[in-house]
Amino acid sequence: MVEEIGKVRLDYSKYSGEDLYCDGAVEDELLHIVKDLSAVEYAKVIEERKSWPILYHLSPLRENIVEWIPILKSDKVLEVGSGCGAITGVLSKKAGSVSCVELSKKRSMINAYRHSECDNVTIHVGNFKDIEPQLPKDFDYICLIGVFEYGQSYIGGKKPYHDFLKLLLPHLKDGGRIIIAIENKYGMKYFAGCREDHSGAYFAGIENYADGGGARTFGRKGLEKIFRSLKIPEYHFYYPYPDYKFMTTLYSDAYLPGRGELSNNIRNFDRDRMVLFDEKEAFDGVVEEGLFPFFANSYLVVLGGTFDSKYVKYSNDRAPEYAIKTVISRDDKSIVNVRKYPLGEAAKEHVREMAVACENLKDKYKGSRLEINQCKLVEQDAEMYAQFEFVQGVPLSELMDDCLAKGDLDGFHKYFKEYVERIGYNSDCPVADFDLIFSNILVRKDVWTLIDYEWTFGKSIDTKELAFRAIYCYLLEDERRNKLNLDLILEELGITQADAESYREQERDFQKFVTGNHLAMAEMRDRIGNRLIVPEKWIDKCRDFEEVNRVQIYEDKGNGFSEEESYFVQEAYQGENMIELQLKVSGDVQTLRIDPAMDACAVKILEITCNGETVPPDKKKTISVNGRAAKAGTYIFPTEDPNINIAMSNLQRNAENTLYIRMEIVRLPHDMAQDMAGSVKRIL
């Protein structure tokens, strides 16, 4: 009943013998990958496969959601719904023992092969309700990462989510904690056009799951209602951003985001999505109104005591030697401090260099009007970090944004000119912070403080190059900033277009240097290829369709055509590319003119009859057009006023006639229509 894969134990004593949940062939692919490849090769596989499931299950960034939690080697952890092991590995590194519960044998095997060197992991395979009675009651942590929403499937009954936690609580030791990571059904991304993660439907959570489904997420008050019903005495909300799956930043009620911080929003990798509005601008509004906890995309809830860490930012979408995390916390004296930790041995030298950079920059800017945030290197026991002062102030980028929002371009340029003056002090000194971007400078009255100088190099860098990079990054972060006249700024800095292109190329090389030539997550989204659908464009297209794809009829009864006596045919278009007309034409009409559209196009007459008699498209002197004929019945119109003229006087007609015509039509760009028409020899 027990199998060992490497050092991992799999307990099948409660396994039914059948996997009731399976994602199909992708799980076989994952099993093959983890059996045959090492973890360091996963990044290459992720980039090559360009697959959402491969990215989701194998990306090391999945671990961020729990990596920050101060789990000790003396702690016991229960992971419910461990799946393919996205967080099992980091739990194993931190804890004394990890007990996993997973319904699927195939997924459990993927987990085991993936972490076969972990000698403190046991995976219980089977239904949670069957396994729960045999679990010990002394866990320090119970993790439900992307699991609580499946309470109905796991537990069933009238109050499945309440009962789920009720079953788990007795398995905590005194002082233990339950960690829940779950989507917020009222998350901003769902209003903005992301599909609900589990059902794949637009607005499913916002509409309170009107169509049902096996998974259900909650807003903050919905979760709190469940916790209160169980009389849980203490719980704390954290806010993973962009969401808990690939968290880069963790906020808390003690440290909420500021305006301008939430700009990394196109981060769903699983499906196409709509873009209904600019999420950054919307987030700025809710941040100002104090509503971020309601609209956060995901929650991480700690049932039990809080942690000192109030803010965590991961910079691990990088090469290993530069992978770090930034933590803002309060110590026992409630003093706020900022620490940067290496995420692995390879990054320790990078963190050490921050303290060196601090001293070098302080020497460079001594006597200037740019302060350098104090940094102290701490190495004690197994812990190592760079500690910074917590500086109060407003980011320079926010002050500049305020100027743009008010249309105060003079104010913006005043800030920019002062920025150039302050950073340009002692520019020949052989030390420079390459990352002197506006958001790294905090302004408090007349005091400007550089708070982050991670990318400081032992060489001088031209001030105009640093200023160009600052404005370049500033513009890339937000399209609304494009109202700035970049040419004017370049002229102020004395930068030619050739210089600017050289600096852009240098920036691209720098990004490759930081990431180790691996694709960043934003690039992975592009590689996977899910679409961004902008409804405004579709609305414009429909409006354009209605305005341009209209059929107008003119009748010449001997006095020529006149606009006043013309009319439009309703519902002439059968879809976008087909026209069908059945017209009543009086016997005194000599020529009937049909305008099939109000733009350049190609038209093919498929059928034309008069009183049931076929009119051949090549009938001489009967059909004429103001375009060019590719062949009989097929015409190119390089004009906004295409028309097809039918000489009714050449047809057998009565006092009242029925003309039927069916045409295929394709709109063409004007240049293309002219080129196509130019290849045709004669005008009809």
Q: How far is CA 266 from the centre of its chain?
A: 2
What's the pTM?
0.82
CA dist 2 to 118, 125, 208, 424, 646, Å? 16, 10, 42, 67, 85
Per residue in 475-515, pLDDT (tens digit) is 988 877 888 888 889 998 999 999 999 999 999 999 999 99
What tokens were used for 448? 């400007």
Q: How far is CA 155 from the centre of its chain?
A: 33
Please state whether the peptide bond connecting residue 242 to the residue before it is cis, i.e. omega within 30 degrees of 0.
yes
In the chain the domains, ranked by start, together with CATH numbers, are 2-24+60-308 (3.40.50.150), 394-528 (no CATH), 541-678 (no CATH)
Tokens 């500021």 identify what position? Answer: 258
Paired sense of beta strands 383-389 and 432-433, if any = unpaired
Backbone angles phi, psi at 492, to 5 degrees: -60, -40
Per residue in 251-271, pLDDT (tens digit) is 999 999 999 899 999 989 999
Torsion of CA 78, 332, 453, 379, to 10 degrees: -70
pLDDT at residue 546 in the model: 72
pLDDT at residue 684 in the model: 39
Q: Rounded distance, CA 424 to CA 413, Å?
A: 16
* Long-range contacts, stretch 206-215, CB < 8 angstroms, 24+ apart: 214/150, 214/152, 214/153, 215/149, 215/150, 215/152, 215/153
Q: Rounded distance, CA 203 to CA 190, Å?
A: 6
pLDDT at residue 212 in the model: 86
What tokens were used for 75? 């702690």
Q: Rounded distance, CA 181 to CA 194, Å?
A: 19
| Burial (CB count <10 Å: 0-12, 13-18, 19+), residue 683 | exposed
Q: Are 243 and 297 in contact (CB under 8 A)?
A: yes
- The rounded average pLDDT for each run of 10 residues, N- to C-terminus, in the chain (684 residues) is 96 91 88 95 94 96 98 98 97 98 97 98 96 97 97 90 97 98 98 95 95 92 97 97 97 94 92 94 96 98 96 95 95 81 96 98 97 96 92 95 92 96 96 97 97 96 96 87 87 93 94 91 89 79 74 94 91 90 94 94 94 84 91 92 93 92 93 88 46
CA dist 547 to 544, 566, 636, 681, Å? 5, 17, 20, 32
Say which amino acid occupies 417. K
